[in-house]
Amino acid sequence: MLEQDKKISVLSVIGGFGLGLVLSLGMLFLAVVIGSLIGENLLNGHKPWIFPAIEAVLLVVGGFLAFQRFDDSGLARGIVIGLSMALVLDGVCGVAMLK
């Protein structure tokens, strides 16, 4: 085994996954608050597609920051997996809102 290879605990990945899901729920709430402010003030009315767009940006930034902060650990991988699943669901909701 090389020195660069790390052992990653399955429990830390599962914990990171749970933390990623909790973070994605927090980002959903933040996206609704920001989208409500932007929709009323800047877009002259309610635009339902703004919520998934803002949440997608928040999820990508959150995943990037998690990977930078935890330096390729099992926790960071779990967080990124959880945020990625939320991003896929966010994309599906965004497409459904366009119809």
Residue 72 domain flag: yes
Considering its fold, how many domains does the chain have in total?
1
Q: Is residue 2 part of a domain?
A: no
Q: Is residue 82 part of a domain?
A: yes
Q: Provide the 3-class DSSP secondary structure of residue 2.
A: coil
Give which of 84, 86, 76, 81 is closest to 12, Cα–Cα: 76
Q: What's the whole-model pTM score?
A: 0.81
pLDDT in tens, 11-48: 989 999 999 999 999 999 998 888 888 776 676 666 77
Domain-embedded: residue 62:
yes
Between 96 and 4, the more confident residue is 96
pLDDT, tens digit, for every residue of 54-85?
899 999 998 888 888 887 788 888 999 999 99
Residue 4 lies in a domain: no
